[in-house]
Amino acid sequence: MNEEELSIQLFKQASSEQGTEVLSWQGVDGKNYFARDIKFRLTSGERIEPDLIIRTSDQIWIIELKGSHAEALSDEVKLCHLKTHLGMDGIADQLKRHTSQPVNLSSIYLAVAYDANDPISAACESSVVHISWEALQDKIRKDGLAKTLIGLT
């Protein structure tokens, strides 16, 4: 499965679950007809645009999507860059401004989602959660995305 197919799968899954809300979705083609496109602004003026941001009943997930784990390594660095430059307070403040909803700092998770799980864990960022569609798709379809994500924390 490529990045676009994975993006659509996760968007559809999140959109269909009661109690789960898509806060932002950046379609691979750049067209955002179905959800907002939240951009985080760093103090340097740089913008970081996550592929998917979802809110479950008690968590917010900022997710970058790729076709394989190897391709996701640069996105792990990007998510850490976001956290380093804004801090969790800054991320929460910007999410609150974009969504007009309260944000609990302890409920924000940074993640990469990918289909193919190639074995290169030595280069992974420990603060970024990994969502392997290949390994979790049956569980996600059976138990739901929100419940599966909670199990990853």
Instruction: Kindly give, in sequence order, each residue whose CB lies less than 8 Å from that of residue 88, ignoring residues fewer than 6 positions away.
Output: 105, 108
What SS3 class is residue 152?
helix
Q: What is the pLDDT of residue 31?
A: 58
Range of the domain at 104: 3-152
| 124, two tokens | 């992974």
Cα atoms found within 13 Å of the Cα of residue 102, Cβ hemisphere only: 4
Ordered per-residue pLDDT tens for the chain, 153 residues: 888 899 989 999 999 999 899 999 986 665 555 677 788 999 888 999 999 999 988 899 999 999 988 888 899 999 999 999 999 999 999 999 988 887 776 789 999 999 977 766 667 888 999 999 989 999 999 999 999 998 998
Residue 79 CA, distance from chain mean position: 9
Dihedral Cα 66, 124, 109, 87, nearest 10 deg: -110
Q: How many domains does the chain have?
A: 1
What SS3 class is residue 109?
strand
Dihedral Cα 60, 64, 66, 71, nearest 10 deg: -130
| 2, two tokens | 């490529």
Q: What is the CATH number of the domain that holds 66?
A: 3.40.1350
